[in-house]
Amino acid sequence: MSRRQKKMLIRIIIAAVLLISLNFIPVDGWLRFVLYMAAYLVIGYDILIKAGKGIKNRQIFDESFLMAIATIGAIGLAIYDKSGDYTEAIAVMLFYQIGEWFQSYAVGKSRRNISELMDIRPDYANLVRDGAIERVDPDEVEIGGTIVVNPGEKVPIDGVIIEGTSSLNTSALTGESLPRDAKAGDEIISGCINMSGVLKIKTTKEFGESTVSKILDLVENASSRKSRSENFISKFARVYTPAVCAGAVLLAVVPPIVRLFAIGIQADWEIWIYRALTFLVASCPCALVISIPLSFFAGIGGASKEGVLVKGSNYLETLSQTKIVVFDKTGTLTRGVFEVNGIHHSQMENEKLLEYAALAESASSHPISRSLQRAYGKEIDRDRVDDIHEISGNGVMARVDGVQIAVGNDKLMTLLGIEYIPCHSVGTIIHIAIDGKYAGHIVISDIVKPQSKEAVAALKNAGIQKTVMLTGDTASVAEKVAGELGIDLVYSQLLPVDKVEKVEELIRSKTDKAKLAFVGDGINDAPVLSRADIGIAMGAMGSDAAIEAADVVLMDDDPMKISKAIKISKKCLGIVYQNIVFAIGIKLICLLLVAMGLAGMWLAIFADVGVMIIAVLNAIRALFVKKI
């Protein structure tokens, strides 16, 4: 509770006690008026001051003004009637203040809850300076500085581990609770929690550029990008308040005049003025105005806890309308890591062939070369290899153990005039020739992620109508992967430019309401990510380019997160629509009842405060997305 809230609470209690005890004190006339006015001023003086300032600043349609008019009006009527019934005016002011107090408390509380949830900001870094460890602000650590992270501490800055082994809890970043092992030489990103061993880290970034700062910045600013629903509400509120005030004036003036002149009966001015005042009290648009941004804020906060970063309320809204999901194959549905699948037609032992291939490719860092080296699995003795020529796009020629080895694709074999045996397996084929004679081929292929199939099915469950896969790979590989996963449509052998074109084609062929999401790994598909209605980058932990280009960032590379993100957005938008319909609906019904004289000030208070409280509580539900 803030100081302001405490003060208000004391005022509320004093006024409530005064009001109740005054009911038991039989006083009349001026004394009665003075006593009640004292209670009224205790609870409402600030509202009166604000209303006065509002009039001075020509802001006459704000809440304080409405409340001041309504309560002063009620007091005026009580004096006019000589009924001395001031209780209602004070009760209205009292309940209004209770409502305001609750709103401020609830919003403050949820703001704190959500911020705590996203609290991955490290408070300090243990900097090694002149051999001693010093606790400093993470901002002070320069690039290349050495920091120590003890077990239980957050990694404050991105860097490379230079000493120590440990397991890391990345759940604050990815929502994944399985710990990750880390050892010397590994890159480490900020925001992870070190669980077991002491780690010495050489920083590679400043704090401001580190993953944790970027994520915080992104989530904090997300609610500044307003969704259409939010814009609708603020426009609505701008028209609504003057309209309601006009309605109240009409309600106060028109029926009495009609009664007096057209029907010829008593005007009953006080009844109609009273109704108009009640109408004003019931009309406050607060429930809407507060609950919609709060729902989005809670939704974005909940999603970030699950490792789904949504860059704005507008993207959350678009995501919920997604009907087509387009995948990039490599790195998204597959691991992007090649593995040896088979060795065919080998003229020697398979291991020997692989050894030759791995040695010949030892100087290359191409993913294919690396996968061959990995499959070979033994230490590569570079002294056995010399005379390496890389023929770009075709393969490598090298001398290994004194024999001439050529390793490459069909084109290389044709180039060298070596007759090769084409392969019927699906995958990337690497032929090997030794001393100009064909020696067999190795089939390698990318591995489909274990969750991909389930992820595609989950998307269908989440209401996605069409799944599409784009790839630069050959048709046979693409068809096989798509068939395995249950993807509806495949486009293969695409260059990066073609991918943009295909996405544009898909966007043209759909209706405007169905949105298209593109899922990529963010590495070379930035143009596609930005062209799609919504770009989702996955496996983005530590990749600045992906965080930059995409609208939604999945912190780890689990494709199941895509359907999760869509479900979270749907839940959040569901709550938003519930609140819009509920708040506007109840409000209109209450206004109607009040105008017809079927409901009094009490219902008006409910329409103002009750609806707001219910809407705020409903909005908080958007935060809970763990089991969705």
Partner 1 sequence: MKKSYKIDVDCANCANKMEIAACKTPGVASATVNFMMLKMNVEFEDGHDPKSVMEQVRKNCKRVEDDCEIYI
**Which residues are designated catalytic?**
328
Query: Does residue 618 interact with partner 1 by CB under 8 A?
Result: no
Query: Does residue 114 interact with partner 1 by CB under 8 A?
Result: yes
Query: Does residue 113 interact with partner 1 by CB under 8 A?
Result: no
Task: Specify the stretch interacting with partner 1 by CB under 8 A; choose among 249-257, 293-301, 411-419, 598-606.
Answer: 293-301
C-alpha–C-alpha distance, residues 513 and 40, integer Å: 53
Query: Does residue 221 interact with partner 1 by CB under 8 A?
Result: yes
**Cβ contacts of 527 within 8 Å, gap of 6 or more:** 496, 499, 500
Closer of 107 and 260 to partner 1 (Cβ): 107
C-alpha–C-alpha distance, residues 79 and 266, integer Å: 20
Closer of 8 and 455 to partner 1 (Cβ): 8
Number of other residues whose CB lies within 10 A of the CB of residue 389 = 10
Closer of 61 and 269 to partner 1 (Cβ): 61
CB of 621 to partner 1, least distance (A): 16
Task: Specify the stretch interacting with partner 1 by CB under 8 A; choose among 176-184, 291-299, 434-442, 452-460.
Answer: 291-299
Strands 308-310 and 552-554: antiparallel
CB of 409 to partner 1, least distance (A): 50
The binder of partner 1 chosen from 138, 285, 307, 336 (CB under 8 A)? 285
C-alpha–C-alpha distance, residues 63 and 47, integer Å: 9
CB of 57 to partner 1, least distance (A): 5
Query: Does residue 302 interact with partner 1 by CB under 8 A?
Result: no
Query: Does residue 290 interact with partner 1 by CB under 8 A?
Result: yes
Query: Does residue 11 interact with partner 1 by CB under 8 A?
Result: no
Render 23-87 in DSSP notation, one character per residue. Answer: TTS---HHHHHHHHHHHHHHHHHHHHHHHHHHHHTT-TTSHHHHHHHHHHHHHHHHHHHT----H
**Two structure tokens written together for 188:** 């480490």
The binder of partner 1 chosen from 286, 407, 412, 547 (CB under 8 A)? 286
Interface size with partner 1, residues (CB under 8 A): 27
C-alpha–C-alpha distance, residues 628 and 626, integer Å: 6
What's the chain's length in residues? 628
Closer of 213 and 334 to partner 1 (Cβ): 213
What x/- string results for residues 44 through 83 when contact with partner 1 is judged by CB under 8 A? ------x--xx--x-x--xx--------------------
Instruction: Tell me the H-state helices in 60-210.
Output: 63-81, 87-117, 171-174
Question: Do 397 and 404 meet the contact criterion of CB atoms below 8 Å apart?
Answer: yes
Closer of 273 and 290 to partner 1 (Cβ): 290
Query: Does residue 608 interact with partner 1 by CB under 8 A?
Result: no
CB of 10 to partner 1, least distance (A): 17
- Hey, which residues between 225 and 244 contact partner 1 (CB under 8 A)? 226, 234, 237
CB of 612 to partner 1, least distance (A): 10
3-state SS string for 475-533: HHHHHHHHHHHCCCEEECCCCHHHHHHHHHHHHHHCCCCCEEEEEECCCCCHHHHHHCC
What x/- string results for residues 161 through 200 when contact with partner 1 is judged by CB under 8 A? ----------------------------------------
Closest C-alpha among 359, 384, 379, 380 to residue 369? 359
Query: Does residue 3 interact with partner 1 by CB under 8 A?
Result: no
Closest C-alpha among 73, 102, 70, 95 to residue 15? 95
The binder of partner 1 chosen from 104, 165, 204, 474 (CB under 8 A)? 104
End-to-end Cα, the chain, rounded Å: 32
Task: Specify the stretch interacting with partner 1 by CB under 8 A; choose among 33-41, 219-227, 248-256, 399-407.
Answer: 219-227
Q: Is 549 left (phi over 0), alpha (psi -120 to 50) or beta?
A: alpha
Q: Mutual orientation of helices 286-305 and 313-320 as an angle, nearest 10°? A: 80
CB of 93 to partner 1, least distance (A): 17
**Two structure tokens written together for 623:** 């935060």
The binder of partner 1 chosen from 43, 127, 149, 289 (CB under 8 A)? 289
C-alpha–C-alpha distance, residues 548 and 539, integer Å: 13
Query: Does residue 223 interact with partner 1 by CB under 8 A?
Result: yes
Closer of 4 and 366 to partner 1 (Cβ): 4
**Two structure tokens written together for 150:** 């003890």
For the CA atoms of the chain, what is the radius of gyration?
35
Closer of 117 and 198 to partner 1 (Cβ): 117
The footprint of partner 1 (CB under 8 A) covers 50, 53-54, 57, 59, 62-63, 100, 103-104, 107, 111, 114, 220-221, 223-224, 226, 234, 237, 285-286, 289-290, 293-294, 297
